A and B are shown apart, each in its own frame.
Chain A
Amino acid sequence: MATEAHGGEEGGLVFHPMDQFIVKPLFGGDTIEWYTITNATLWMGIAVLAIIGLMVLGTSRRATIPTRMQSIAELAYGFVYKMVEDVTGKDGVKFFPYVMTLFMFIVMANFLGLLPMSFTTTSHFAVTVVLALLVFLTVTIYGVAKHGTHFLGLFWVSSAPLPLRPVLAIIELISYFVRPVSHSIRLAGNVMAGHAVIKVFAGFAAIATISPVSVVAITAMYGLEVLVAFIQAYVFTILTCVYLKDALHPGH
């Protein structure tokens, strides 16, 4: 929407693909304090309501033969539960509500972000970095608390030849601390790039001769983005499970 406004003003082919990511206060004022209600807050709230609608209201009848909404909620439950159990093992099931929270929030925010005029909360590094750091801290604190120094076995590849082990330890250590970075940038980067590309194609739609191509391209990109919205939520969740497995069972 901001793009059209700008395009109209300047009367030319101007792209503002990143304007859709601007965080604005919803109820007037220019400054954004930590408590200000912004468009990001609004869409996080909508995500919470959507999750409550699906997972609580959708299952309120507790039907043995599920309704459509309840089926979706059960599918999501079974999908994440099986993932946690398969990747982390039986003792990882205590992290299931936590992993489910991450998955539901990301998948819901990704899909809500695909609605026209909406704001995609997961396209912001502020959000994904917090999500990734939460996982990183959970893994590190739980791993150290449960295994003590044995947790460091994660970096000491005992199956490698002895002279190689210090080198591998350095590599493992670096890769361990890079995890939250890649974990967060992968999600925000994918979501942001897709939305920006759609916006760029939308900018081209202003030229009459290219607009049919542009519309087809937007449609195709949108389809791809629907796929990406789910796949990135899945990737984030399964990587969370993989990292949790390290905390539960360190050592290779």
Chain B
Amino acid sequence: MATETHAAAGTAADAAHGAASAPGMPQLDFSTWGNQIFWLMVTLVVIYFVLSRIALPRIGAVLADRQGTIMKDIAAAEELKAKALDAEKAYEKALADARSEANRIANETRAAIQADLDAAIAKADAEIGAKAAEGEKAIAAIRANAVESVSAVAKDAAEAIVAAMGGKADAKSIAAAVTARMKG
């Protein structure tokens, strides 16, 4: 670009300056200082205004926004975690309730069945008792009948024996003798 032509011009200018800045440090060529300082001030003012008016507030806002978003997300996550814990607790509670309810129902049922059972057993016992008493009564009646039959048979037998022996059977004395024997 224009550098080529300026290289020549620059060399000419350099030769002129060269005498002034003998050791060859363009930094110490004070004739360019005013120019550099002027343009530097322009540069700095422009950068300062661009940064302080536009760039820095914008970046600051973006960073704050991001921080806010992250905070909000963390808070939301905490909330959800608490909710989950609550739900878990409620579930545990419902489970425990159901279990105790089931236990209670089982116990009640068991008690009811037991009561029914007890009643049935008592009823059966009573029936058995009644039947046994009846049986005993029947047995007693049968026994009394038997004793009566035995004494009648014994009287008859004794009468027959006495008659067979040729004696005269006194019904009254025979009955007394049989009765005395049977008691013995």
Digit string of B13-49 for contact with A (CB within 8 Å is 1, else 0)? 1101100000011111101111111111111101110
Whether the pair B69, A41 counts as a contact (CB closer than 8 A) is no
Identify the 7 closest CB pairs spanning chains A and B, nearest first.
Answer: A55-B55, A97-B52, A126-B36, A23-B32, A21-B26, A126-B33, A44-B43
Whether the pair B39, A62 counts as a contact (CB closer than 8 A) is no
By a CB distance below 8 angstroms, the chain A residues around B13 are: 24, 30
A30–B16 alpha-carbon span in the complex (Å): 10
Digit string of A72-103 for contact with B (CB within 8 Å is 1, else 0)? 01100110000000000000000011101100
A134–B47 alpha-carbon span in the complex (Å): 15
Chain A contact residues, CB within 8 Å of chain B: 1-2, 5, 16, 18-19, 21-30, 32-36, 38, 40-41, 44-45, 47-48, 51-52, 55-56, 59, 62-64, 66, 70, 73-74, 77-78, 96-98, 100-101, 104-105, 121, 123-127, 130-131, 134, 188, 192
By a CB distance below 8 angstroms, the chain A residues around B51 are: 51, 55, 97, 100-101, 104
Flag whether B143 is at the interface (Cβ < 8 A). no
Q: How many residues of B contact A (CB 8 A)?
A: 50
Whether the pair A62, B62 counts as a contact (CB closer than 8 A) is yes
A56–B56 alpha-carbon span in the complex (Å): 9
> Taking the nearest CB of chain B, how far is it from the CB of A194, in angstroms?
14
> Taking the nearest CB of chain A, how far is it from the CB of B64, in angstroms?
11
By a CB distance below 8 angstroms, the chain A residues around B86 are: none
Chain B contact residues, CB within 8 Å of chain A: 2-3, 5-7, 9-10, 12-14, 16-17, 24-29, 31-44, 46-48, 50-52, 54-56, 58-63, 65-66, 69
Q: A59-B55, A97-B52, A125-B27 are in contact. Are A1 and B43 (CB under 8 A)?
A: no
Whether the pair B50, A55 counts as a contact (CB closer than 8 A) is yes
> Taking the nearest CB of chain A, how far is it from the CB of B5, in angstroms?
8
Whether the pair A18, B24 counts as a contact (CB closer than 8 A) is yes
Main secondary structure of the interface of A (DSSP, over half): helix
Q: A23-B35, A38-B32 are in contact. Are A5 and B7 (CB under 8 A)?
A: yes
**Residue of A at shortest CB range from B54?**
A56
Whether the pair B31, A32 counts as a contact (CB closer than 8 A) is yes
Known: A18-B25, A55-B55, A56-B58. 6 other contacts (CB 8 A): A2-B10, A41-B39, A48-B46, A55-B51, A62-B58, A70-B62
A78–B64 alpha-carbon span in the complex (Å): 12
**Residue of B at shortest CB range from A45?**
B43
Whether the pair A77, B43 counts as a contact (CB closer than 8 A) is no
By a CB distance below 8 angstroms, the chain B residues around A23 are: 26, 29, 32, 35-36
**Residue of A at shortest CB range from B3?**
A1
> Taking the nearest CB of chain A, how far is it from the CB of B165, in angstroms?
142
Q: A64-B69, A74-B63 are in contact. Are A130 and B12 (CB under 8 A)?
A: no
List 23 interface pairs A-B (beta carbons < 8 Å), by A numbering.
A16-B24, A18-B24, A19-B26, A29-B9, A30-B12, A30-B13, A34-B38, A40-B35, A41-B39, A44-B39, A47-B43, A55-B50, A55-B54, A56-B55, A62-B61, A63-B62, A64-B66, A74-B63, A77-B60, A105-B47, A123-B27, A124-B26, A127-B36
By a CB distance below 8 angstroms, the chain A residues around B55 are: 55-56, 59, 73
- Give the contacting residue for A26; candidates B2, B27, B37, B42; CB below 8 A: B2
By a CB distance below 8 angstroms, the chain A residues around B62 are: 59, 62-64, 66, 70, 74
By a CB distance below 8 angstroms, the chain B residues around A18 are: 24-26
A47–B25 alpha-carbon span in the complex (Å): 24
By a CB distance below 8 angstroms, the chain A residues around B31 are: 32
